[in-house]
Amino acid sequence: MILKKLKELGPGVLVAAAFIGPGTVTTATIAGAKTGYTLLWAVLFSVIATIFLQEMSVRLGVVAKLGVGEALRKKTQNSFWRIPVVVLVISAILIGNAAYEAGNITGAVLGFQVEEIAGVNPLILVVALLAFLLLFSGKYRVIEKAILGLVCLMGLVFLVTAFLLNPDWSQVLSGLFQPRFTEDHTLLVVGIIGTTVVPYNLFLHASTAKEKWGKSRSLKVARLDTILSIVLGGMITMAILIVAAVAFGGKPSEIQDISDLSFQLKPLLGSWSSYFIAFGFLAAGISSAITAPLAAAFATAEILGWPSTLGMKKFKLVWIGVLLLGVVFASLGYRPTELILFSQVANGILLPIIALFLWWIVNDRKLLQQHKNSWWLNFFSGIVILICLLLGLKSIFSAFGISLF
């Protein structure tokens, strides 16, 4: 019975793969290097927040058989909000994911030193080609299994390494359950939230859950899939932060390049340190390079009323466009760590807007009937959205040198 249920898991793994990208590795590494174990609580909050928000998304897909984009289109089709909603979704998800894709592709090859051809790292093209071939196959099962394999690889690499480094577990527990927050930590906290509670995952999860499960009685399995996958993803993020904290010995450090982390890990992992970093980023980058264009295609097709199936021409044109723009942006010569961290902070700011839309939709009794949000789900998800909103506003004001709180 348990094995049968485990075989049904899938869409949640895509969500985990989407947020365990180069952005997670970069942001968690910087957080661990700068603050030690202090910001583990932010990862824990992000995991809880993600579970609440993604559960609403998967419920919409399984029960109402709607993607988030479809639901938004139906809810606003005869109102003033129709055009603003379309503009918001396309700008935040389609255009945003193109920039986000650049971080995925660039981050995937950070650990590999190769000679550039005409100013372009050829490995960027290899990663893009792998993502293209998997998506072009049009086979959801193939994509799902490939992503599952990459997530398992990342989990094995980071979790095993974290335990082998034998961190101070009392400090780990303190960082998890004793929240500490200073002005200097603001952007890192927003970045951690932005790298875990990814706005486009709300679109991706509902759409893939709709494809995966046929009846509302599958809701229990869908919830199990959501919780297990997100908890695993959160554990990987924590492991990355712990590895960086141990590597830098608890002394606040600035990371100029990813080779800094490889160098710090050499006394602990020996000659394996550079391989550890390289393959960790590669797995993270490829998995996110697949999910970002896929999510953008689902969101765009649904909000514009196009068929949202992998084999449709318009659907393919969207993800191909996102992938190509990602390759172009990745080839412009930006510092990868800056590009990736910026995209995570941007996601943290955009998240409350998309989450409020979803919150509104899942309270519609006509769509979800007895599965609409209960009062306690509204209460806790409302708190999550409010905290995300406050942190997002703080990061905007901080950029202009204004202290919000």
Two structure tokens written together for 310: 């992998």
| Tens-digit pLDDT profile for residues 192-210 | 887 788 778 888 898 888 8
Name residue 352's amino acid.
Answer: P
**pLDDT score of 391:** 67
* Positive/negative CA dihedral, 106, 110, 112, 114: positive
Residue 252 has pLDDT above 70, yes or no: no
For the ranges 9-23, 115-129, 272-286, the one whose mean pLDDT is highest: 9-23
Task: Look at phi and psi of residue 138 and say left if phi exceeds 0, alpha if psi is from -120 to 50, else beta.
Answer: left
**pLDDT score of 179:** 85
**pLDDT score of 336:** 47
Between 210 and 262, name the one with better pLDDT: 210
Query: How many CA atoms lie less than 13 Å away from 81 in the CB half-sphere?
Result: 9
Residue 247 has pLDDT above 90, yes or no: no
Q: What is the mean pLDDT of residues 263-277?
A: 66
Q: What is the mean pLDDT of residues 373-399?
A: 77
CA-nearest of 229, 230, 250, 273 to 172 is: 250
Compute the C-alpha angle 44/49/55, nearest 5°.
Answer: 130
Task: Look at phi and psi of residue 262 and say left if phi exceeds 0, alpha if psi is from -120 to 50, else beta.
Answer: alpha
For the ranges 41-55, 90-104, 148-162, the one whose mean pLDDT is highest: 41-55
Query: How many CA atoms lie less than 13 Å away from 193 in the CB half-sphere?
Result: 30
Q: Could you tell me which residues are beta bridge partners of residue 120?
A: 117
Between 128 and 255, name the one with better pLDDT: 128
Query: How many CA atoms lie less than 13 Å away from 105 in the CB half-sphere?
Result: 35
**pLDDT score of 405:** 54
Two structure tokens written together for 233: 């993803």
Q: What is the mean pLDDT of residues 155-178?
A: 85
